[in-house]
Amino acid sequence: MIKVSGLYKAINGQDILQDINLEVEDGEILVILGQSGAGKSVLLQHLMGLRKPDKGNVVISGVDITNLSERDLLRVRKNIGYLFQEGALYDFMDVYENLAFPLEEHTDLNEGQISQRIKNVLQTVGLEGVEGKYPVELSGGMRKRVALARAVILNSKILFCDEPTSGLDPIRSRDISDLIRNLSKQLQCTTVVTSHDVANSFRIADRLALIHEGRLIAVGIQGEIASSKDPFVRQFFKN
Ligand SMILES: Nc1ncnc2c1ncn2[C@@H]1O[C@H](COP(=O)(O)OP(=O)(O)O)[C@@H](O)[C@H]1O
Ligand SMILES: [Mg+2]
């Protein structure tokens, strides 16, 4: 389980996150929706311990990560798969090398096992035979798939995806959304996705949260959140 309690964060004297309280159950997919600049990425950075809150705390699988040393944080992060907004593959490595990297870093698998694992994980994200391609040779949708493959290659039970549909056309956005949901359920991951894309968030989520100017203003399942009386929430879901 992931639990955020009373979290506040100011950056350069500006309040960015205010009184964030949030729980994500084991195996659940929570989508955090919000406009650009609302605080989604900064919140995800707190969930990974990449930023320290001014107040409040973050508990991941029973461990309060708020005051962990950098070394203990690395151990926690090893168990978190993370899909960066820009995909963030290494441009100078081909797909195989991009995927082998975390395995070489964090496991003692031999070369044969690594190559088998890479083949399997590529199959899981619907790609085949792209091992020798460099990121620039792939379409945006394929790059996202490879990045997603890399995020789950260590069999992490926690998956974070920051704006997985940004920069993709509507069809690719739907595909990657369905893939994230299927993959998350198949691997039984506790998953947090951020997005500004309402329709695809409904496809992915078990539960949704809406963040506005650094505050969570609605949390619930689709029916609950879409029938909110709050004017901003109504406006957000109407567009
Ligand atoms: N490193 C930083 N320095 C200053 N301000 C930042 C920094 N990172 C984020 N912010 C500010 O925090 C707010 C939330 O940003 P962010 O979480 O990236 O929004 P989004 O919801 O689009 O992901 C924005 O106003 C942004 O300008
Ligand atoms: Mg962001």
In a domain, 53, yes or no: yes
Name the strand (E) or helix (H) holding 237. helix 231-238
Q: Is the CB of 195 under 6 A from ligand 1?
A: no
> Is the predicted pLDDT of residue 86 greater than 80, yes or no?
no
Calculate the dihedral angle through the C-alpha atoms of 200, 151, 132, 108, rounding to the nearest 10 degrees: -160
Stretch 112-126: mean pLDDT: 96
Please state the atom number of ligand 1 nearest to the C-alpha of residue 163. Answer: 23
Q: Which atom of ligand 1 approaches the CA of 34 most closely? A: 21
CB 121 within 8 A of CB 149: yes
Alpha-carbon distance of 239 to 65, in angstroms, equals: 37
For residue 4, give the CATH number of its domain.
3.40.50.300
Q: What angle do CA 208, 213, 215 make, to 5 degrees?
A: 50
Same domain, 137 and 208: no
Q: Which residue lies with its CA nearest to atom 10 of ligand 1?
A: 11
**Residues of the domain holding 19:** 1-79+158-172+189-239
Q: Please check whether residues 72 and 113 belong to one and the same domain.
A: no
Are residue 39 and residue 56 in the same domain, yes or no? yes
pLDDT tens, position by position, 98-112: 999 999 999 999 999
pLDDT in tens, 127-143: 999 999 999 999 999 99
pLDDT at 239 over 80: no
Domains: count for the chain: 2
Instruction: Tell me, using a 6 A CB cutoff, whether residue 42 lines ligand 1.
Output: yes
Whether residues 74 and 162 share a domain: the answer is yes
Q: What spacing in Å lies between the alpha carbon of 108 and ligand 2's midpoint?
A: 34
Q: Which ligand is nearest to the CA of 45?
A: 1
Burial of 155-179, coded b for 16+ CB within 10 Å and e otherwise, reads ebebbbbbbbbbebeeebbbbbbeb
Residue with structure tokens 């600049």?
37
Question: Which amino acid appears at position 92 of this protein?
Answer: F
pLDDT score of 8 more than 80: yes
